[in-house]
Amino acid sequence: MRSEQILVVDDEKRIVENISLFLKREGFQTTGAYDGDEAVRIFKQQRFDLVLLDVSMPGMNGYETMEHIFDIDEDAMVIIITGNASVESAIRALKIGAWDYLKKPFEYADLIKTVKNALFQKELVADKKAVSARLEASERQYEYMVNNSPDLIFTLDKNGCFTFMNHQFEKVLGFSRKDLIGTGFKNILHEGDISKASAL
């Protein structure tokens, strides 16, 4: 059984029940809400992988509800359900942050396809963030090891100018990193050693 949680929001109970039935047949877990206020209240209490949100509801409409949802979770995945699929309504929904929209009445197959595509996209984004986080942690570890190494570590560009030096380099040789970055390696050598360095 799938573990994805989907919040279905529509002021028509029949629509909420039908959509929930279709989704449950595919193994999704669903929760229903019948107005914007209820949807926001439920969303505060529980995180959902996806929100199916009707635009035209009494009180707080779908656009306003979506804004509140993004205030709670900026990474929320929302699909708008609308009976008025005009260019203007679609643009407004996408500008707020909707991933896609469905026009009523829609086919069961279109609903499931759109939901699965949205969840797949959400998974890709989550995987990318996880990889970035691991890479960042690895870079921090590498930087720590280099800067705390007892060895003198430095890098030069193709012109022989310093681009990096670790703390030990500064400590042992007595040079300031900010003074040497961008200057030539030869500048720190004694005159008699320059010819030796040029031969390297």
Confidence (pLDDT) at 191: 55
Q: What is the pLDDT of residues 67-118, one digit of tens each?
A: 999 999 998 999 998 877 667 777 888 889 899 888 888 888 999 999 999 9
Window from 24-28, 48-52, 97-101, 185-189 with minimum mean pLDDT: 185-189
The CATH code of the domain at 5-134 is 3.40.50.2300
Confidence (pLDDT) at 170: 79
Confidence (pLDDT) at 25: 92
Domain spans in the chain, listed from the N-terminal domain onward: 5-134, 148-198
Looking at domain 148-198, its CATH class is alpha beta
**Band (2; pLDDT cuts 50, 70, 90):** low
pLDDT of 200 > 50? The answer is: no
Secondary structure string (H, E, C) spanning the chain: CCCCEEEEECCCHHHHHHHHHHHHHCCCEEEEECCHHHHHHHHHHCCCCEEEEECCCCCCCHHHHHHHHHHHCCCCCEEEEECCCCHHHHHHHHHHCCCEEEECCCCHHHHHHHHHHHHHHHHHHHHHHHHHHHHHHHHHHHHHHHHCCCCCCEEECCCCEEEEECHHHHHHHCCCHHHHCCCEHHHHCCHHHHHHHHCC
Average pLDDT (136-145) is 79
Pick 136 or 39 by higher pLDDT.
39
